[in-house]
A and B are shown apart, each in its own frame.
Chain A
Amino acid sequence: MKDDELICRCEEITQAEIKEAIKFGLKTMTEVKRFTRAGMGLCQGMTCGRLVMGILARETNQPLSEVKPCTSRPPVRPVPVSVLANRVTDDDQN
């Protein structure tokens, strides 16, 4: 994996940017996420989450099993606000 390769495709964060951020002393996924914005885009880290975990484990010399993923909060998949607001329209019933 090259350094200029995009890790977070949504926020367009490269591996170099993540490595650079980890040098500031970041140790957890949540720290990396808040510092770099990797995982805060449209897909909410579904694509880059595991990649960032791998980079973090390698850069901080800790086993991958010790790296905790970011806190997951519902909804896990994107849903329209109308679903949460319990609004049923003709469109929804079709």
Chain B
Amino acid sequence: MRIEDHPILGKAEWGRKITLIVDGEPIEAFEGEPIAAALIAAGHRVFHYTTKRNEPRGVFCALGRCTDCVMTVDGQINVRTCVTPARDGMVVKTQIGLGQWEDLQVCGEKEE
């Protein structure tokens, strides 16, 4: 679900259409919108599972404070999807607990 016409903020302005890969499945998104917004619009509700109780978590505060929406994005763990803008081809994965590093591309170089 998307709010196209907000009573206070007015008509929504979206970037170009892009594709995110979420747990291996492509979903449609708009460039620059928060990853979480695209996921909610595509019907995804569970973003990660907690460390101790393995409980599902999704968007809670939606402004980057609570870290309930963290996911593994492009191999980087604990990315707050509600404040991270979507880019074309991003690989987003549901995270278990605190996650596991997949590929150290964060610093711009891979470990040989």
A78 neighbours in B (Cβ, 8 Å): 67, 78, 80
Known: A9-B60, A87-B107. A47 touches B66 (CB 8 A): yes
**Does A87 lie within 8 Å of B108, measured CB to CB?**
yes
A-binding segment of B3-11, B20-28, B30-38, B46-54? B46-54
**Does A90 lie within 8 Å of B108, measured CB to CB?**
yes
**Does A12 lie within 8 Å of B108, measured CB to CB?**
no
Number of B interface residues at 8 Å Cβ cutoff, please give it. Answer: 21
Most chain B CB within 10 A, of A10, A80, A82, is at: A10
B55 neighbours in A (Cβ, 8 Å): 12
Contact of A43 with B by CB under 8 A? yes
Q: Is the interface of A mostly helix, strand, loop or mixed?
A: loop
Give which listed residue, B53, B61, B105, B106, contacts A47 with CB less than 8 A: B61
Closest Cβ neighbor of B98 among chain A residues: A42
B53 neighbours in A (Cβ, 8 Å): 12
Residues of chain A in range 29-56 having any CB-CB distance to chain B below 8 Å: 41-43, 46-47
**Does B108 lie within 8 Å of A46, measured CB to CB?**
no
Is the interface on chain A under 10, 10 to 19, 20 to 34, or 35 or more residues? 10 to 19
Contact of A77 with B by CB under 8 A? yes
A11 to B64, CA, bound (A): 17
A67 to B50, CA, bound (A): 30
A60 to B57, CA, bound (A): 32
* Given pairs A9-B50, A87-B108, 20 additional interface contacts (CB within 8 A): A9-B57, A9-B68, A12-B52, A12-B55, A41-B67, A42-B78, A42-B98, A43-B65, A43-B66, A46-B65, A47-B61, A47-B66, A77-B64, A78-B80, A82-B106, A82-B107, A89-B107, A89-B108, A90-B108, A91-B108
- Residue contacts A-B, CB under 8 angstroms, 20 given: A9-B50, A9-B60, A9-B68, A12-B52, A42-B67, A42-B70, A42-B98, A43-B65, A43-B67, A46-B66, A47-B61, A78-B67, A78-B80, A80-B106, A81-B107, A82-B106, A82-B108, A87-B107, A89-B108, A91-B108
